């Protein structure tokens, strides 16, 4: 309240100060006062106004995780009661996370597709833990043992192998009670492209039909700048699938191009099954809430590959913190590298990381590095949006049902009670034929 009053007074005083600067010399000279007296009066005004000008104007606390509801922390399952299993072989492996013990009712299955290069689940560990503690069975296809091991056009095939292996393994565990009648596909960045490709393969190829496709800051399929997997023909995606794409206003990597590309390719779903949601950054308080391309990253070192038995690839050294291979560290039994070869290897690895995690000015300004990043308000909002979408679809609703839900737009309150910038949504326009290709009227 004090900070707001200070800003109002300072703004209200500006015109008066301008008038005083222009009129005061003539007025004081008419009174017989010297310029030295005028200078003294000005210094006194500065001293009086200094405390007012230096008053803080920011709220000092962003909203934390809600206690109940979508994205909430009212878990019935403890973090230590999550089972972590490995299925499949090589690049076709997948991890599965689910609550330990016998389930009392069927558990929904969420297939989580990481961004290319973010192999270790530690990148998204906090989000994965949230999903599992909500009672979901989470399948996490690795689809590449190491960075660069699989070409982009083969990533969807390797991810499909991992999902099949995990579903088969889970089916052999009756206590899990995984509801494999349908699947929810969730992907971040280039993982959203793979999620869309898998959703198009669902309902056949021994894969249950997709009921929800959710992309968080989706990359543009096949784009050279982003180095994302190519987008497949999505015309075979089950007609009942609800496709929700979440974009960030500070995404300098993909913007909304990836979201529009996916929803245009899935134009057969109709307007009531497609939706674009846009999260707006807010710097009213400190720390600011910043929706960049990597806003979905929610690190938790307890979920590192090296800490999951049988998860780390046997042919490489254990992953360093954050899922990144230890630079310059050779695998056990491998020939020793010369200093020149080691430097070259580190340089090639650095280039691969720069390509896979390309960032622009806004990304660098808001996220200098992934090391030390903490989970914050932006993450909780993304979790809430996905949970709400999943609950809506599970209850038989569609994108229009979600669009009419007032909970979708509320992003929480700053510590001073001021609301965060609300979410905005857009229903993509119908897809029309143009020059032999399907193009959305709303696409850019």
Domain boundary among 14, 37, 53: 53
Return the H-helix or E-strand segment holding 113: strand 109-113
State whether 130 and 264 are in the same domain: yes
Domain membership flag for residue 367: no
Domain membership flag for residue 436: yes
What's the pLDDT at 337?
Answer: 81
Evaluate whether 353 touches 117 at the Cβ level (below 8 Å): yes
Helices (H), 31-154: 35-53, 125-133
The order of strands in the sheet holding 137-141 is 82-87, 94-99, 137-141, 109-113, 183-188, 210-216, 242-248, 274-279, 424-426
What's the pLDDT at 253?
Answer: 83
Helices (H), 109-221: 125-133, 155-171, 190-201
Provide CB contacts within 8 A for 210, sequence distance 6+.
Answer: 182, 183, 184, 185, 198, 199, 202, 203, 237, 238, 241
Opening angle at CA 423, ends 291 and 382, nearest 5 = 50
Domains in the chain, number: 2
Domain membership flag for residue 333: no
Q: Which pairs count as long-range contacts for 11-16, CB under 8 Å and 24+ apart, including other chains?
A: 13/49
State whether 105 and 48 are in the same domain: no
- Return the CATH number at 155: 3.40.50.1820
Domain membership flag for residue 151: yes
What's the pLDDT at 350?
Answer: 53
Domain membership flag for residue 149: yes
What's the pLDDT at 314?
Answer: 54
State whether 134 and 35 are in the same domain: no
State whether 217 and 148 are in the same domain: yes
Opening angle at CA 347, ends 343 and 352, nearest 5 = 150
Evaluate whether 211 touches 249 at the Cβ level (below 8 Å): no
What's the pLDDT at 23?
Answer: 41
Torsion sign (Cα): 394, 163, 223, 280: positive
What's the pLDDT at 313?
Answer: 73
Domain membership flag for residue 340: no
Of 152, 139, 141, the residue nearest 92 (C-alpha)? 141
Evaluate whether 418 touches 435 at the Cβ level (below 8 Å): no
Location of structure tokens 């590095």 = 369
State whether 171 and 221 are in the same domain: yes
Domain carrying residue 40: 2-53
Q: Using omega within 30 degrees of 0 as the cis cutoff, is the peptide bond preceding 287 cis?
A: yes
State whether 265 and 189 are in the same domain: yes
Calpha distance 243→435 (Å, rounded)? 25
State whether 155 and 105 are in the same domain: yes
pTM over 0.75, yes/no: yes
Location of structure tokens 């979508």 = 70
State whether 30 and 101 are in the same domain: no
Evaluate whether 195 touches 222 at the Cβ level (below 8 Å): no
State whether 261 and 158 are in the same domain: yes
What's the pLDDT at 413?
Answer: 92
Of 182, 86, 93, 99, the residue nearest 136 (C-alpha)? 99
Per-residue pLDDT in tens (0 to 9) along the chain, 444 residues:
444 444 444 444 444 444 444 444 444 344 444 555 544 555 455 444 444 444 455 567 888 999 999 999 999 999 999 999 999 999 999 999 999 999 999 999 999 999 988 899 999 999 999 999 999 999 999 999 887 788 889 999 999 999 999 999 999 999 999 999 999 999 999 999 999 999 999 998 779 999 999 999 999 998 665 567 999 999 999 999 999 999 999 998 889 999 999 999 999 999 999 999 999 999 998 888 989 888 999 999 999 999 999 888 754 433 333 333 333 344 455 578 888 887 777 666 655 554 444 444 444 444 444 555 679 999 999 999 999 999 999 999 999 999 999 999 999 999 999 999 999 999 998 877 665 555 554 443
What's the pLDDT at 37?
Answer: 52
Give me the residues paired with residue 245 across strands. 215, 276
State whether 43 and 97 are in the same domain: no
Domain membership flag for residue 74: no
What's the pLDDT at 57?
Answer: 55
State whether 33 and 119 are in the same domain: no
DSSP-based three-state secondary structure for 394: helix
Domain boundary among 37, 53, 69: 53
- The 10 Å Cβ neighbour count of residue 329 is 16
Domain membership flag for residue 355: no
State whether 49 and 85 are in the same domain: no
């Amino acid at each position: 309240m004090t900070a707001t009053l200070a800003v109002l007074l300072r703004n209200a005083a500006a015109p008066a100060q301008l008038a005083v600067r222009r009129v005061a010399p003539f007025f004081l000279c008419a009174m017989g006062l010297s310029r030295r007296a005028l200078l003294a009066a000005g210094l006194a005004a500065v001293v009086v106004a200094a405390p007012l000008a230096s008053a803080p104007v920011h709220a000092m606390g962003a909203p934390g995780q809600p206690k109940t509801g979508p994205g909430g922390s009212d878990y019935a399952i403890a973090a230590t009661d999550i089972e972590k299993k490995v299925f499949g072989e090589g690049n076709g492996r997948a991890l599965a996370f689910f609550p330990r013990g016998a389930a009392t009712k069927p558990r929904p299955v969420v297939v989580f597709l990481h961004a290319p290069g973010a192999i270790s689940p530690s990148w998204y560990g906090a989000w994965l833990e949230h999903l599992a503690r909500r009672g979901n069975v989470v399948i996490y296809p690795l689809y590449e043992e190491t960075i660069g091991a699989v070409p982009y056009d083969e990533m969807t095939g390797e991810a499909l192998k991992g999902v099949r292996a995990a579903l088969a393994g889970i089916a052999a565990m009756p206590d899990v009670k995984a509801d494999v009648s349908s699947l929810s596909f969730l992907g971040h960045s280039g993982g959203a492209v793979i999620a869309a490709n898998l959703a198009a393969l669902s309902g056949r190829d021994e894969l249950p039909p997709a009921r929800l496709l959710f992309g968080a800051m989706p990359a543009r399929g096949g784009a050279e700048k982003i180095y994302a997997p190519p987008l497949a023909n999505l015309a075979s995606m089950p007609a009942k699938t609800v496709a929700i794409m979440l974009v960030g206003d500070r995404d300098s990597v993909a913007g909304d191009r990836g979201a529009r590309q996916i929803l245009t390719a899935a134009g057969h779903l109709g307007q009531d099954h497609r939706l674009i949601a846009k999260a707006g950054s807010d710097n009213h308080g400190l720390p600011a809430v910043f929706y960049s391309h990597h806003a979905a990253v929610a690190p938790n070192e307890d979920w590192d590959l090296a800490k999951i038995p049988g998860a780390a690839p046997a042919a490489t050294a254990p992953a360093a913190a954050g899922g990144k291979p230890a630079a310059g560290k050779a695998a056990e039994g491998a020939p020793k590298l010369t200093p020149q070869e080691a430097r070259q290897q580190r340089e090639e690895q650095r280039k691969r990381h720069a390509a896979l995690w390309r960032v622009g000015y806004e990304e660098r300004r808001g996220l200098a590095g992934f090391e030390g990043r903490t989970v914050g308000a932006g993450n909780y909002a993304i979790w809430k949006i996905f949970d709400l979408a999943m609950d809506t679809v599970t209850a038989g609703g569609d994108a229009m049902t979600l669009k009419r839900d007032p909970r979708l737009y509320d992003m929480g309150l700053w510590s001073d009670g001021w609301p965060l910038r609300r979410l905005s949504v857009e229903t993509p326009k119908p897809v029309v034929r143009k020059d032999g290709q399907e193009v959305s009227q709303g696409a850019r």
